[in-house]
Structure 1
Amino acid sequence: MVDADSLVRLGLVLLGTLVAVVAGALVFVVFPATLTDLLGVLFVLVAALAGARIASNVAGSLVPSHNVAEVAVEGPITRDGGGGGIASPPTSPGADDIVEQIERADDDHGADALLLKLNTPGGQIVPSEDIRLAAESFDGPTVAYATDVCASGGYDIAAGCDELWAREGSIVGSIGVIGSRVNAKELADRVGLSYERLAAGEYKDAGTPLKEFEEDEREYLQGLIDDYYDQFVETVAEGRELDEAEVRETEARVFLGAEANEMGLVDDIGTREDVEGRLQSQLGEPVTVAEFEPQRGLRSKLRGGAQAVAFSLGAGLTSAFQGDVDGLSFRQ
């Protein structure tokens, strides 16, 4: 069944194409008597294609074919995302790119709701916060949907949405903060390396791995982690309408989606179709989802494609020698 909006979009595209054909014929065939017919026809075709593309973009802007914008947060959350390498898969867009996608969706004429797809073990604190704040600022219903993993920074982002859905087997939670240091003092002593301090400020080199970890340094760094944890708990409690004591009682554990739902960490359990059904009931009309992706240049796209191929090849070679011994992976 063709609706009125589809007919309007089709009409705009056809009109734009027709205008481009006429303009191309006049400019490239009728007026310049010195051009060959073949060259003129080619120019007309180019003009027609360009006109169709422009008209299609205008039609999509004036009469959008979607009413829900989908933005994905996948992989470790970092500021710039990075691109992976031979030994690791390409990572997701950086936090700044994801925030830009959400803001673009908020400005989009057709996006009445935001669907945030989450499959992430978490990551850096401030980038995670930036994505959460962008989701909170979206003008319309926001629904987060956890697929495989929604942990730590991913759960922080979900706390900024109106609802969080998950699958029964999704990994959800890890409401905590971790910091670590490598203690290489003994190894340095064995190989004859020594640490000479050149710093201003007592705690400027706190945690440096080539020197002994003093107790007051440990307390100082643990205090920072505790402060971050308090902020995280407060954010989750407010966003998920939970008591702070309940959040702390999780002790940064992860839970399967079904248990997380019973605990109030997840609003409902369902498939992608169930989530779209929920959005349909909120909007009061059938749902059409448009995926919003980073606007990247040609160079960036080529680099990302090359990295994906490199990872696939590396994964294939590794599995050939190693076998599928990592049936269960868990990262947070």
Structure 2
Amino acid sequence: MTDPQNWERQTLEKLAFSSLQEQRRSRNWGIFFKTLTFAYLFALLFLALNWIGPGSGAIGPHTALIDINGEIGAGAEVNADNTLSSLRAAFEDKHTKGIILRINSPGGSPVQAGIINDEIHRLRKMHPKIPVYAVVEDICASGGYYIAVAADKIYVDKASIVGSIGVLMDGFGFTETMKKLGVERRLMTAGENKGFLDPFSPVNPAHKAHAQAMLNEIHQQFIKVVRDGRGARLKETPEMFSGLFWSGEKSIELGLADAIGNSDSVARDVIKEENIVDFTTHEGLADRFAKRFGASMTHALLGSGFSLK
């Protein structure tokens, strides 16, 4: 006959042991889910701060892709620092068989576009076996085209917008509005030209002439870059460097582009390597905000600048 007290003790021990096992299982599952959550958040942090470099994890032969997407400027999504970093990573990767610059840009800073153009030429000389092709999506205008002409060939869609080879400097004038409101402008400067193109003062003919001369100079620099990049393929017309733009199909006729194509077709049929690896450097949110803030402050302090748009 079983001792009741012994039976109760054994039952309590079993219940206690089962409870401990359940707590241990719960703790293990808790650790697992916490670890999983931590790993997920850590991966997001890597992506947000751009700790994973362009082309990281590229394995085997590939076509390197670099996006030129949006306005070009020191504080913009497309800037020289990021694009140069992408270009160097793509050229230095031993498995890169060719590079595609996928362009969808209305233009922007002539300085930033010029730096990118120069670096493409430099890297092409250092790595002559790696071809560079520009592939235009919706638009490749002004500063975007300034970059594109550094490529070996330019491919477009028949409906792409290409061209706008010109320079502009824009602003506003508020003198008549101030007269109507009875507002008097009191501008004091040290240096007779410090109030250059001040929007609240009447236009100074000497300042306007000086600005136009600079526009013309930068325009000639742009024209030279296009002529050097396109060479004998260019079929110049009186309107070519006037700031007009054309469809992709017409741009091929004018020698501004070479053929119809997209990223996939160029990788597959021209470079002969269908495996496409993205080498585009993407800034973290903090870096982008800092650059945009800095560019905005510079614009506010110095006024309008020149733009390839």
Q: TM-score, normalised by structure 1?
A: 0.64
Aligned pairs for 1:1-332 (under 5 A) are 64-81=59-76, 92-138=77-123, 139=127, 140-242=130-232, 246=236, 249-250=239-240, 251-281=242-272, 286-294=273-281, 296-297=283-284, 332=309
Structure 2 CA distance for aligned equivalents of residues 243 and 277 of structure 1: 24
Note closer, same or farther for the CA distance 1:293–1:244 as it changes in structure 2 (3 Å cut).
closer
Give the Cα separation in 1 of the matches to 2:144 and 2:86.
Answer: 17
Alpha-carbon distance in 1 for matches of 2:222, 2:248: 20
How far apart, CA to CA, are the structure 1 residues paired with 2:94 and 2:218?
37
Sort the Cα spacing of 1:198 and 1:255 in 2 relative to 1 into closer, same or farther, 3 A: same
Distance in 2, Cα, partners of 1:147 & 1:161: 15
Amino acid at match of 1:178: L
- Measured in 1, the distance between the counterparts of 2:161 and 2:184 equals 44
After the TM superposition, which of the residue ranges 61-70 and 99-108 deviates more from structure 2? 61-70
Indicate if the aligned counterparts of 1:70 and 1:116 stay in contact, CA closer than 8 A: yes
Residue 174 of structure 1 deviates from its aligned partner by 0.3
Structure 2 CA distance for partners of 1:111 and 1:40, relative to 1, 3 Å: farther
Sort the Cα spacing of 1:132 and 1:63 in 2 relative to 1 into closer, same or farther, 3 A. Answer: closer
Count of matched residue positions in the alignment of Structure 1 and Structure 2: 246
Contact 1:171-1:256 at 8 Å conserved across structures: yes
Q: Is contact 1:279–1:287 with CA below 8 Å preserved after alignment? A: no
- Bigger relative contact order, structure 1 or 2, given CA contacts below 8 A and separation 6+? 2
In the alignment, structure 1 segments of 5+ residues that lack a partner are 1-35, 82-91, 304-330
CA RMSD in angstroms, aligned pairs only:
3.4
Report deviation, 1:300: 6.4
Note if contact 1:120-1:149 (Cα within 8 Å) is conserved in structure 2: yes
Percent identity, aligned pairs only, is 26
Letter in structure 2 aligned against 1:108: D
Tell me the distance in 2 between the aligned counterparts of 1:206 and 1:174: 27
> If you compute each CA radius of gyration, which structure gives the higher value, 1 or 2?
2
Question: What code does the residue aligned with 1:287 have?
Answer: E
Contact 2:110 2:143 in 1 (8 A): yes
* TM-score scaled by length of structure 2: 0.69
**Residue identity in the other structure for 2:184:** S
> Displacement of 1:133 after TM fit?
2.0
For the structure 1 residues 197 and 163, does the alpha-carbon distance in structure 2 shift closer, same or farther, using more than 3 Å as the test? same
Are the equivalent residues in 1 in contact too, given 2:236–2:254 (CA < 8 A)? Answer: no
